[in-house]
Amino acid sequence: MANFPHSSTHKLRKLIERRTVYPLTCGLVLASAVAIILLWTQEYKWVKNVKDYLVDEEDSHLLRASVARSMIFTAMFSNDIAQLQLVRGIFDDSASGAITSASGISDPKAVDARNPGSITFPAYGLSDYLFADTTRTLASATNYEQLKLLDILYNTANPIYAGRINQVGLIIEKDSLDFRHPAQNMSYVQGSSFDFTETCGKSNVAFDPLCTNTYHTLKSNSKNNVTFSYEYSLIDIYLNTDFGATAIFTDKNVLKFFMNDFEYYTYFLTSNYGSQVLAVNKEDLSQIFPYNLSYNLFPDDYILANVSAPKLQSMIDEKTTSGSVFDGLNSRYHVSVTNMNITITTQRYPSYEDSLSVGVMISEIAVRKEWNDTLDTITNTIIIQMVIFMCFILLTIFSAVRLSKHVSHRVTHPLQELERYLNGDEKMIYTHIKYNREVNTIVKSLNLIEDIEKLIDPHYLLHPKSEDRLKNLEEVREIYRGLGNLRGVAITSNLIGNIFFENSQYLEAIQNYTYALEITEKILENIENQEKEELKLSEKEKIKDGFISSDWKSEKEFLVKDINNRRMQLCMARRAKLEEGLASATELRTEWKEILSLQTSVLQHYIDTSSNFLQLIQLLIEMSISFQFLQYFHSAMEILNIVNDELTKIEQRGLEFIDIDIALLKRIGIGLRENQAAMLSFFNVKGITYEKDILRQFMYYRKGVICIEQNKFQEAGAAFTLAIERGEYYDPKIRKLCVEELLRIMNKFSIKKGTDDLKRMDLSLNQAKKSIVFVLNYKVKNKPKLNKKLIKFVNKEIGPTRDKFGVVCMNTNNYNILDVCTRDMPEVDLEHLLFQAKHGESETEEVMYHIYNMIMCGFKCMPVDMLEKYIIVFIGPHEQERGPIQIKDLDEVIARKVKLIVVCVETHLEGEFKEFLDRNNCRVFMCEKMSEVNDVLEEVRDLIYEKCLI
């Protein structure tokens, strides 16, 4: 493969971006800018023309609106004046005698406006009267008879327009009397401190109807027949008469009753003389500014109110229909004013024409509001479209960028990564990166090769450091899971569970053991289903589908055996978890029952297959523990009695096959099912030697523990004593426990006789001693002389009072190990171990476990204390298979102050192991001949017991 520089991928990606992304982006931006400029220009012209048109149309509309309103008010006020003329005519005719009242006419129903009492207003059956002299009553009026007639007229004709005209009445000047109908709440006349200086030249007096501004204006100008004025929140219309005046008092909101479209419009009514504002439909401002129209129209703009006043007055003085525009602080206002002419004609009085003006105003903002709202809607629509358009532009740019990166990522980059990987520059191809199909296939193949290389390396799966081994096993499990290899997943899960169990993480161990068991059961289920499917096929169909006729029996037997091993592991982990004592009593009982159920299923398998006799006996003893914790003490003792009986059968000479009475087990309460084939088969017990003694020792120990829980201390002491004394072989750990229990019983009952031997034994078992481990790295079967020399050396030099002794011996299948502990007869234990290792070696296989593995195994067998520790390695000539332990892992042995001694028998050291020993000053002895072994062993003895290791 060509060797391209690392920057070639980057350059190619940049080239692709320049050829695709940049031109596309520039074109889109340019097209968008041109489109936006054209759209903006055309829209600006169109909007300006429409706005000008709207303003022009609104000016015309204002002129028409002002004319229409003037006609409405002309008609309205003409009717009002006609009513005033009617009141004047009736009063004058009754005073002159032209109209006479009938005899017995009732007095007017009227109340004093200053003191109306508790009357509900308006009172249409009553009238109001008011004298300037507060002491006078209505009956004292000069024209009392005419008032009777008017009161009848008021009550019968009732010229009041509901909601517009407030009151109708007349003012008699010689009596200073104000007479009105109907009675209303005239609170503004109550009190005695009115200021009439400008009209009548007096102040701090009671209300005088002859001193109001309206009456004063009417009488002070001889040209006025009618006066319109705004006073006391009412529009007053006074008609001049000889006796005084007739009057109509109109509600101040009169404009609103005749103008429904006043949302954006301001209507105003003003007199031509004095520029008095009679009404404004928007705000009740005419009372505050009664003589200033501009302030009523522009209350929020003081400058505009001052500037516009002359212009407004000129529009009113013209007495025509005219319009104008006023520029304010934040807006423009369009105003239209129309003159209103009212002609007053009667037969007895000359005609008189008075003038009012009606105006309409609107803000240009209001004119354009709906249009602006429409423009906002259009603008929002355009913005939304532009956003969508920009999204598509960005999506297009993003797609182009992604396309360029996709090409470089899926073509150039993976090829360069592959090149660097093959050249050794990269250690891993990242599987989570997805390339094109061809590159993915190559990457998958390379990763598969890398995974196979990892699996071939034993150091990867059997790393000496548990945390590294756990990490590697989890990675391998994921590989198997991805490949769908259930068998591999089950094995790795089981190994992971072992690591957690060694680290006392029992919950995690239980989870992994359970998962491994479930996977193995699933594999068995798949095989059984496949077997059923094959049974349905004929021979021709099997050949056609590619099935090879074979028996699944061996495969199923292997899986069943594996399942039972998994169950035993799960029981072990769950027992360890329960011994932590973190569960409640109910949870403990439930858990022990589940453990007993698992143990029963394994026992059923052993009985059905009549195999694994030693494992069966061990299982029965462990089941007695489950019964004990469930407090089924009788059942537990019965199981142990059965174990004792079965072990006794083995001791009979010449007996190679025995059977187990299933009925006894069922009678105890173990849920076994009968198997007719199993009842006719036997267990092969040939070759069982020391195992029976160790199992019997364990059985007696469990009996003693159960007796203690039942407070049967005498039986317990007998059981512990038998566990110590019975048998040639024993487990040092069990012996130590038995001695401790016996001493505890004797102390409990203050028994001193016979305790000296126990105390010496306990002292021997617990005292601090140096640890010595023999690592036999040679083929035991080929070196019988060396075996005898070692047995003789151990018999002579290794003693139970001063040493803890252990052995690691190898064969082609596994290690043979003697745990490091105090041993009564270490030479005998070594002899039996060598015998077992010799018979376990293969006749043809020559490759053995590597010396690194065996040294590390011996190191792990040693107790964790601060005493002296020795590993004595005996190496013979043979081929060694590289194991998971590497030379660097042996540094931990030296770091723990373990003294390593190497004895080479008829072989030589070379390579990294020799360098390691030299670097750490380890003693190495070379035996060219077998005859030199004794001398070397004496030197080893001197190093251990007399001299310091150099």
> Would you state the structure tokens that stand for residue 454, as one six-digit string?
């990892």
Are the C-beta atoms of 927 and 903 separated by less than 8 Å? yes
pLDDT per position as a tens digit, 855-864:
888 888 888 7
pLDDT at 756 over 90: no
Q: Do both 619 and 710 map to the same domain?
A: no
What is residue 408's predicted lDDT score, i.e. its pLDDT?
72
Q: Do both 839 and 699 map to the same domain?
A: no
Taking residues 879-899, report their average pLDDT: 82
* Rounded Cα gap, residues 623 and 603, in angstroms: 10
Identify the domain containing residue 123 by its residue range: 101-251
Q: Do both 702 and 831 map to the same domain?
A: no
Q: Please give the C-alpha separations between residue 277 and each of 71, 75, 152, 268, 285, in angstroms, as whole numbers.
A: 18, 19, 35, 7, 9
CATH of the domain at 851: 3.40.50.410
DSSP conformation letters of 71-105: HHHHHHHHHHHHHHHHHHHHHHHHHHTSS-PPTTP
* Rounded Cα gap, residues 228 and 272, in angstroms: 10
Among the listed residues 766, 799, 732, 824, the one whose alpha carbon sits nearest the alpha carbon of residue 944: 799
Q: Do both 807 and 931 map to the same domain?
A: yes
The answer to the question of residue 174 being in a domain is: yes
Parallel/antiparallel/unpaired status of strands 244-251 and 165-172 = antiparallel
What is residue 710's predicted lDDT score, i.e. its pLDDT?
92
The answer to the question of residue 416 being in a domain is: no
The answer to the question of residue 510 being in a domain is: no
The DSSP letter of residue 204 is: E
Q: Do both 608 and 755 map to the same domain?
A: no
Taking residues 366-378, report their average pLDDT: 81
SS3 track for 848-870: EECHHHHHHHHHHHCCCCCCCEE
What is residue 627's predicted lDDT score, i.e. its pLDDT?
92
Q: How confident is the model at residue 2 (pLDDT cuts 50, 70, 90)?
A: very low
The answer to the question of residue 173 being in a domain is: yes
pTM: 0.54
pLDDT per position as a tens digit, 622-632:
999 999 999 89
The answer to the question of residue 796 being in a domain is: yes
Decide which of 251, 279, 309 is a domain's last residue.
251
CA 703 to chain centroid: 56
The answer to the question of residue 131 being in a domain is: yes
What is residue 702's predicted lDDT score, i.e. its pLDDT?
94
The answer to the question of residue 913 being in a domain is: yes
Q: How confident is the model at residue 89 (pLDDT cuts 50, 70, 90)?
A: confident
Q: Do both 710 and 599 map to the same domain?
A: no
* Rounded Cα gap, residues 172 and 179, in angstroms: 8
Q: How many CB atoms lie within 10 A of CB 852?
A: 24
Three-class secondary structure of residue 461 per DSSP:
helix
What is residue 812's predicted lDDT score, i.e. its pLDDT?
52
Q: How confident is the model at residue 262 (pLDDT cuts 50, 70, 90)?
A: low
How many domains would you assign to the chain? 4
pLDDT per position as a tens digit, 109-143:
899 999 888 888 888 888 999 998 888 998 889 88
Q: Do both 236 and 107 map to the same domain?
A: yes
Q: Do both 907 and 780 map to the same domain?
A: yes
User: Which of 312-321, 499-508, 673-682, 857-866 shows the highest mean pLDDT?
Assistant: 499-508
The answer to the question of residue 501 being in a domain is: no
Among the listed residues 738, 695, 723, 709, the one whose alpha carbon sits nearest the alpha carbon of residue 628: 709
Decide which of 217, 232, 251 is a domain's last residue.
251
Higher pLDDT: 675 or 921? It is: 921
Q: Do both 740 and 798 map to the same domain?
A: no
Three-class secondary structure of residue 817 per DSSP:
strand
Q: Do both 722 and 870 map to the same domain?
A: no
Specify the length of the chain in residues: 950
Taking residues 691-698, report their average pLDDT: 88
Q: Do both 669 and 797 map to the same domain?
A: no
Q: Do both 607 and 728 map to the same domain?
A: no
Decide which of 766, 785, 804 is a domain's last residue.
766
* Rounded Cα gap, residues 408 and 415, in angstroms: 10
At residue 103, what are phi and psi to the nearest 5 degrees?
-75, 150
Average pLDDT value for the chain: 81
